[in-house]
Amino acid sequence: MEKKKVTSSDVARRAGVSQATVSMVLNKKYNVSFSKEVIKKVETAAEELGYVLPKRKAKKEERREKLLVVFSPNLTNPYYVMLLQGIESRAAEQEFGIFICNTQRDLNLEERYLKMMPSLKPEGIIYMCNPSQCFMERVENLSRKIPVVVINNQNEKLNVDAVELDNSKLGRLMARHLLELGHRHVAYIAPPLTVRQKQRSKRVEGFLKEFQKAGLGDNVVIKAADEQIDRDVPGIDSEYRIGYDLTRELLKEHEDLTAIVGLNDMIAFGILDALHDEKYKVPGDFSVMGCDNTLFAKVKKVSLTTIEHFVIYKGMDACDIIIKKIKSRMKRYTEIEPVSIYHVEYEPKVVVRGTTSYPRPEKNKISKK
């Protein structure tokens, strides 16, 4: 006959105490004080009866969330929202969570987020723009521990994985389109062209070089916003206002312009509205062009000519590179850890819509609506 298992209730009866007292004494719960006499009674009863404390069930280790960190300079421009859409769609397929660090182009915020990385312990980091130059070494050091991908300007030298964008090429494409149409007097509107934002300057330089090759470099007006704009927290309409306000200034300063280009679509939307408010026809009086092929560029009443450089795909590729790196570290077939640097680039294309056409004849005055 099987011997009955001794329980804590049996020990409690033998010692003349409660079952709770038995549990606390034998588990050595020192937050409750018992007399030496009670402790001895309980321990003696347990020994005599052969009572053994049941083994505690080991707590299942909590499942750690697979996390990717995304650094964004802002989320007011649809370009960055599109990048994020690409990242999130691929991350969701692989069951990764996303933590977004919106730096607002502020060095202190960027540094603060970088300092959080050891405690967040992400599986990978994606920069949706170039890291600030002063943090480049820190980012490269991080990339030796976890995968880091930068969606960057190709002209920057980075020792990390990158989904590249040749901003100079984008500018050249914009210029060629207008030159082929016959435009000879044009303006280019941009956000602040600071040392920190080299990608903007590269786009403008590419545009200017094409006109210089055609012997028309002096006919290009570069109109950039004041540097203070980058120091302020960006509003939802910051880049739109740049396009709108600087177009109004251009119209007062230059009478011979036939085309105005925005560094991106958001600026181009501001250009269009400024021309509309001044009663000019597009493309009859002015051709207008943007870059990024964001959603609103396709709206029929806007129909903006722009540059497609496959933004959502870049977000997907950045996420794919992270996942490849994680898998290669998990499934090594050699004792040496593989080191690889991925570089992905898409060929940009001009998307011609309704805001660009041939320039108005020089003898014709600008006709307002």
DSSP three-state, residue 221 = strand
Tell me how far apart the alpha carbons of residues 151 and 321 are, in angstroms, rounded to a whole number.
11
**Largest interatomic CA distance in the chain:** 116
pTM recorded for the entire structure: 0.77
Tokens, residue 94:
């692989």
The two tokens of residue 353 are 């819509």
Q: What SS3 state is found at 368?
A: strand
Report the amino acid identity of residue 33. Answer: S
Q: What is the pLDDT along the chain (369 residues), one digit of tens a residue?
A: 456 788 888 888 888 888 888 888 888 775 567 788 888 888 888 888 888 887 765 555 455 678 999 999 988 889 999 999 999 999 999 899 999 999 988 899 999 999 999 999 999 999 998 898 899 899 989 988 899 999 876 556 667 888 988 899 999 999 999 999 999 999 999 999 887 778 889 999 999 999 999 999 999 999 999 988 877 767 788 999 999 999 999 999 999 999 999 999 999 999 999 999 999 999 999 999 999 999 889 998 899 999 999 999 999 999 999 988 888 776 666 566 656 677 888 899 999 999 999 999 875 556 555
Structural domains present in the chain = 8-49 (no CATH), 67-165+310-347 (3.40.50.2300), 168-308 (3.40.50.2300)
Position 70 scores a pLDDT of 97
Whole-number Å distance between alpha carbons of 214 and 210: 6
Asked if residue 123 lies in contact with residue 68, where contact means CB atoms within 8 angstroms, the answer is yes
